[in-house]
Structure 1
Amino acid sequence: MKKLPIILSMAACTSAAFAQSTVSISGTVDLAVRSVDNGAVKQTQMVRDGINSSRLRFIGTEDLGGGLKAGFWLDMPVRADDGTGASVFWERRSTVSLLGSFGELRLGRDAALQNSGPGDFDAFNGKGVGNVMNLATPRNFSNATTFTRVNNAVSYLLPNVLGGFYGQVQLAPGEGVIGAKHSAFALGYKDGPLETRFTYGRTHVDSVAVVNTITGASTATAASGSFTYAVLGSSYDFGRAKLMGSLINWNSAEAVAGSRKQFTYNIGAMVPIGSGSLNVAYTHANRSGLGSDAQDAKQFAVQYIHSLSKRTAVYASAARIKQDALATTSNAQYNMDGTNLVGRSGTGFDFGIRHSF
């Protein structure tokens, strides 16, 4: 007869414990049909991530009391075009955190801090056939492995009580992996319609044979050096239009004969039209060093996104890249979201559907 009060008491304690914890599951599936004329071959294919990253994520928090919380974030890509899995299961993010009035201490695999800058101030959100990274990615000019994601990262984020200012520091030891020792920081300001941010990342690269990522051939021997990537971005929402832009500078000081560097600028606008948005962007890349002075390029892109609901949208995008140098299949310097460009120009189109849950 005394078992019932005990069971009820245990249930109440369990309910209280669960009330202090939350776990959410969310995701996005974004697929598009893409047609690209890259100067030598015209191809049509289905691609992922036309306007948003296809992903499945699990986010949890626990209230530890006294203003302290613990949390985790597990984030994997969804390859809905062919159903295959990623080579790294939690490829996008796998972190655990402690949060409080002091800010956030975060450990684990995370997005490279400096890589968030270009996409956040790009009218194409850093995705799709016309995104800024078509020109701003270093491609085969660096052996750094930390351009998009950082393994074994230790990060500290400032608390959100600094009058609009925010910041983050990110460190990774490398653990003996070539091109994985990394440090980065970000400092930004956001107040109403205005946001501006500066990010900087540096990766130490030990002596290693440089491998051309296009041909797979080892073409030179790099000296111990570094790869740096800096971004200054800003945006302002006027209501009728949101204007944005970024200045991007990378420097690969890894080769025996010297270094390559590139300065890229991107400007764009997002204009609300009824249930949709018309987005335009222009990007220009200026490269120098080690015979790459003639490898400049520019890109113009336009996109329309139409929202069918809060979670579903259809979109169409078009972009054109013009290169100064006559590229070949063995020395292509730029790509259109994954498709190498040869010749002097390339044109691409996306038609897709995005659904979030």
Structure 2
Amino acid sequence: MQHRVLALAALATLTGGTGMPAHAQSNVTIYGRFDLGVTRQNDGTSSLSGSNGRLGREGERWDVRHGSESRLGFQGVEDLGSGLRAGFQIEHRFRSDTGEADPVFWKARSYVYLESAQVGTLYLGREYVPAFWPALKTDPWLWDTVGSPGLNHQFATYRIDGHARGNNSVGYKTPKWNGFSANVAVAAGEAARDRATGANVEYASGPLYAGLGVDRQNADTRVVVAGAAYDLGWVRPMFTYTDSRVAAKDVVNLTLGASVPLGRGILRAAIARLDPDGDDNNITKLGLGYEHLLSKRTSVYADLGSARQQGRLAGVERTRTTAVDFGLKHSF
């Protein structure tokens, strides 16, 4: 839950032909999240994805770890007049169980933008690629906890700069027109990788959401994501279809999920099947979870994630990996 904690008002003097207002308003918002719980994982040898999943070859373990990454962020905006605004967002991620900072301090987001309600938004910096949004919005957990299909399934193993965020991005987001919006972006490689280009088209109106997104680094590294969800009131079913090419191999994923409001809580469920090119290598993951809202900012949750991967590891048939988590989340 974000709230404004600092507001600065600055006086600007009009000069001939500047068009600047006499009073330019600016503010900065500080926000964040602390998320920590207890997770138990068995000794299965299948890969288990999710926000706090572990590779399925580490043996049985108990951990104190997050369901979603803890974070500290700053957002700023300034009214430039004539319907134009300038702003920025930077967001840091850290491990709340140890206090360790992520090696990339502003890993989550680091960008600046110009925005017009009539024209749209131009942004520059480290930001999520356009294909991220359809993938995120059709995951019942929004990529959090051991229950979520998460990045590995929803992006069908595709990565850019370690996740779904592009460094050195220049992007444009349209205003919303009758429920439709679009986003295009180019992320310069700057010797670290090939230049990446991406785009999405989304529709959100009433109970219906639908989105299509693409991202491409080269002929052998690209992803296409299509997803939809429909809110029936008592349940919100959703699906995602992802087709990627990673390291010259084709990968397909299909996720079916649902979220169900239950009083002050939300029940979530999903099944995702990841099918890389080749035989005997599928991964099927089941997720189930419940989050109970103690307030608008604080909740407790419990989730189960279970995955079975075909094939063998060190000559032995892979076994099912299952994890459960119980946690507390507070946003500010």
- Residues 161 and 167, structure 2, Cα contact 8 Å, conserved in 1: no
What does the per-residue CA deviation read over 1:184-230, in whole Å, with 9 as the maximum and x for residues that have no partner? 001010101111000100013xxxxxxxxxxxxxxxxxxxx531111
RMSD: 2.3
Give the number of equivalent residue pairs: 301
Aligned counterparts of 1:20 and 1:44: Cα–Cα separation in 2: 50
- Residues 88 and 110, structure 2, Cα contact 8 Å, conserved in 1: yes
Structure 1 residue 350 and structure 2 residue 320: aligned? no
What does the per-residue CA deviation read over 1:325-350, in whole Å, with 9 as the maximum and x for residues that have no partner? 12349x9xxxxxxxxxx823111101
The one-letter amino acid of 2:229's match is: S
Structure 1 residue 27 and structure 2 residue 16: aligned? no
Structure 1 residue 54 and structure 2 residue 48: aligned? no
Task: Tell me the percent identity.
Answer: 32
User: Given the alignment, which residue of 199, 223, 229 partners 1:185?
Assistant: 199
Q: Give the CA deviation at 1:145.
A: 2.9
Match of residue 252 from structure 2:
263
- Residues 281 and 300, structure 1, Cα contact 8 Å, conserved in 2: yes
SS at structure 2 position matched to 1:90 = coil
Listed as ranges, the matches of 1:92-131 within 5 Å are: 92-100=108-116, 101-131=118-148
Structure 2: gaps spanning 5 or more residues: 1-8, 13-20, 46-58
4+ residue runs over 4 A deviation: 16-19, 136-139
Q: Give the CA deviation at 1:108.
A: 0.4
Q: Rate the CA distance shift 1:180–1:29 in 2: closer, same or farther, 3 A.
A: farther
User: Given the alignment, which residue of 179, 186, 191 partners 1:164?
Assistant: 179
Structure 1 residue 42 and structure 2 residue 60: aligned? yes
Q: Give the CA deviation at 1:70.
A: 0.5
SS at structure 1 position matched to 2:301 = strand
The one-letter amino acid of 2:296's match is: K
- Residues 147 and 288, structure 2, Cα contact 8 Å, conserved in 1: yes
User: Given the alignment, which residue of 301, 313, 316 partners 1:327?
Assistant: 313
User: Given the alignment, which residue of 200, 218, 221 partners 2:214?
Assistant: 200
- Residues 118 and 126, structure 1, Cα contact 8 Å, conserved in 2: no
What does the per-residue CA deviation read over 1:225-258, in whole Å, with 9 as the maximum and x for residues that have no partner? 5311111011111111111111011112x4xxxx
- Residues 184 and 202, structure 1, Cα contact 8 Å, conserved in 2: yes
User: Given the alignment, which residue of 44, 64, 74 partners 2:80?
Assistant: 64
Q: Give the CA deviation at 1:119.
A: 2.4
- Residues 27 and 57, structure 1, Cα contact 8 Å, conserved in 2: yes
Q: Which region of structure 1 is more displaced relative to structure 2, 117-126 or 61-70?
A: 117-126
SS at structure 1 position matched to 2:289 = strand
Structure 1: gaps spanning 5 or more residues: 1-10, 205-224, 332-341
- Residues 155 and 223, structure 2, Cα contact 8 Å, conserved in 1: no
The one-letter amino acid of 1:324's match is: Q
TM-score, length basis structure 2: 0.84
TM-score, length basis structure 1: 0.79
The one-letter amino acid of 2:200's match is: A
More helix per residue: 1 or 2? 1
SS at structure 1 position matched to 2:148 = coil
Q: Give the CA deviation at 1:115.
A: 2.8
Structure (1 or 2) with the larger CA radius of gyration: 1
